[in-house]
Amino acid sequence: MATLMEKPIGEIARAAEIGQILVRHGAKSLAGALGVSSHPKGSIDPGEFRPAAVVAFLRDIGPVGIKLGQLLATRSDLFSEHWIAAFATLHDQVSPVPFEEIEPILASSWGEDWRADFAHFDEEPLASASIAQTYSASLLDRTEVIVKVRRPGTAARMEADVRLLARLAAVAEARSPDIARYRPVEFLRTFGRNLAWEMDLAAESRACERVGAYLDTLGIKTPAIHWEFTGLRVNVQERLYGKPVSVLGAVSGDPFVAAFAKRYANAVLRMIILNGEFHGDPHPGNVFLIGEQDVGFIDFGSVGALTKARREQIIQLVLAIADDETSEVTAVLLEWAGDPKVDRDALTVDLDLLIGEFKGTVLAGIKFSQIFSRVFDLLREYRLVLPPDLAILMRTLLTAEGFVRSIAPDYNIAEETRPIIIELFAERFSLGNALYNLKTLRRHLFGLSSALPDILANATSIAKSGFVPVQLDPVSIERLAGIRGEGQSIKGPVAASFIVAAALLLDQSWLLAGASLALAGLVLLRKW
């Protein structure tokens, strides 16, 4: 990440600075454990960590601390409301670097005669943040552009600070069980990767094009990238002109505003659910009203991505909630939390009560924020920590909902999820996916059938020997067998039966295989 223009930061000196900051804000035991203060090494006192002190510490660290605090402000699964409120006070607004310090970066990227490529270049920045500054300019053909330039020395300083914070996290995790449950090492590792990506302005530009290509299918505008001027430290993109969404106001019942809110919410939800890669910070400052009704997105410095496995887990979670299969909801949440030792039965009961409370009303006006708040309260109660990659997803959803409700209070963003989820299911049951999945399933079924006699024989032998105790979990057996109490759903086992039948019939009769698959789809979609 660091370049020839950015000399490495002396870690010893920086560690001493951070140690002084820790001591100044009362975290003496942590500074001592890290070995950056005279405080004796020993156990870490969690009582040293108070919201105001932690926020002051992060602010004094600088850009990395501020960005870390902003990310922590999205982790309601980890922190209570007063912590979240404290983290939310950290803003990524810094004084601009004089253009005299920016110009060498432009000369290094474009050549000493770089001004010859521009008809105009305004040396006063439009905006200044911890990583980059933006300028307005126009090319020789009078095309108006935005020039984004990484601040000098940013990469080296941030690299050093992330490494030191990772060391601090490792020490804290090893010496404090209370801190270890937050998985700070994993969190800092993800944070460091995302920060490195954010400092690569070419990567931001590529994300703008990828996500923009999908948004274009929805009629959403994004800036075009001028690749002849774009690289690691500088990017140049089309300047989109439009009205700030604040001019719309919050007018209940205004059809124009409602239409804008619908297009915006539809874009955000489709990016997440269908595309899997999405704008990670769709706040009002990054959204424009272009013309009479067009929506425009800018600034792809924060982009979220869901792996196929993660998307499948989310689908599984949605289906389980729709089917009242609370045990499946429990299973997904515990998998996300790393399968910790908790009272699974008690968690299932509490989740069942929570889902029952919102059942039938989720799509009729209940806020995402209300649902998330209740779920996060429950996660904290059971000391469950969600994977770091879900943090940006939660932030995006809550940002989108807050924005939509600020301009159209009566608009129900949750209702927008129904057709999108149905479309997702339709995609899963498309012919191409069906053929691939059925062939895979059939291969596994035949492999299992050939191995099953040996498996059963070995299991019987072990059980009879008495050397290895065999325990049969009634809950697991019930789940495997599809047994449910009276009145409970049997959709899962029925759909599975149709899918297995389709796999086995694939070579015999496409008609029968397709019919079986269609029946499975109808069963799964019945409640939607």
Torsions phi, psi for 261 (to 5 deg):
-60, -40
pLDDT value, residue 456: 57
- Name the band, by pLDDT with cuts 50, 70 and 90, for residue 119: very high
Asked whether the beta carbons of 30 and 48 are under 8 A apart, the reply is yes
Q: What distance in Å separates the CA atoms of residue 182 and residue 78, rounded to the nearest whole number?
A: 7
- Name the band, by pLDDT with cuts 50, 70 and 90, for residue 59: confident
Q: Where are the domains of the chain?
A: 11-91+170-193, 305-426, 429-525
- Name the band, by pLDDT with cuts 50, 70 and 90, for residue 46: low
Q: How far is CA 523 from the centre of its chain?
A: 31
The per-residue pLDDT for range 125-172, each reduced to its tens digit, is 998 888 899 999 999 999 999 999 999 988 888 888 888 888 888 887
The per-residue pLDDT for range 488-527, each reduced to its tens digit, is 455 555 555 555 555 555 555 555 555 555 656 655 555 4
Segment holding 190, helix H or strand E:
helix 184-199
Q: What distance in Å separates the CA atoms of residue 292 and residue 343, rounded to the nearest whole number?
A: 55
Asked whether the beta carbons of 49 and 27 are under 8 A apart, the reply is yes
Burial of 55 (0-12, 13-18, 19+ CB in 10 A): buried
Write out the two tokens for 464.
């009879």
Mean pLDDT of 406-421: 74
pLDDT value, residue 39: 60
Of 55, 36, 527, 79, the residue nearest 320 (C-alpha): 527
Which tops the pLDDT comparison, 466 or 288? Answer: 288
Q: At what angle do helices 368-381 and 391-407 cross, to 10 degrees?
A: 150
Q: How far lies 127's CA from each of 95, 135, 145, 170, in Å?
A: 9, 7, 14, 36
pLDDT value, residue 252: 55
Helices (H) and strands (E) in the chain, counts: 21, 10
Alpha-helical (H) ranges within 276-390 are 308-322, 326-336, 344-358, 368-381
E strands, 75-231, where? 118-121, 127-128, 132-139, 144-150
Q: What distance in Å separates the CA atoms of residue 442 and residue 84, rounded to the nearest whole number?
A: 49
Write out the two tokens for 397.
């959803």
Out of 98-102, 108-112, 425-429, 449-453, pick the least confident: 449-453
Asked whether the beta carbons of 120 and 139 are under 8 A apart, the reply is no
Of these ranges, 51-60, 156-165, 203-212, 467-476, the one predicted with the greatest mean pLDDT is 203-212
Of these ranges, 2-11, 75-84, 100-109, the one predicted with the greatest mean pLDDT is 100-109
Which tops the pLDDT comparison, 230 or 39? Answer: 230
Q: At what angle do helices 391-407 and 255-270 cross, to 10 degrees?
A: 170
Mean pLDDT of 356-376: 66
pLDDT value, residue 47: 64
The per-residue pLDDT for range 187-246, each reduced to its tens digit, is 888 888 888 888 999 999 999 999 999 999 999 999 999 999 999 999 999 999 888 776
Asked whether the beta carbons of 372 and 398 are under 8 A apart, the reply is yes
Structure letter (DSSP) for residue 247 = G
Q: What distance in Å separates the CA atoms of residue 419 and residue 417, rounded to the nearest whole number?
A: 6
The per-residue pLDDT for range 324-344, each reduced to its tens digit, is 788 888 888 888 887 788 888
- When the pLDDT of each residue in the chain is averaged and rounded to a whole number, the result is 77
pLDDT value, residue 483: 42
Out of 11-20, 86-95, 515-524, pick the least confident: 515-524
SS3 358: helix
Mean pLDDT of 394-413: 80
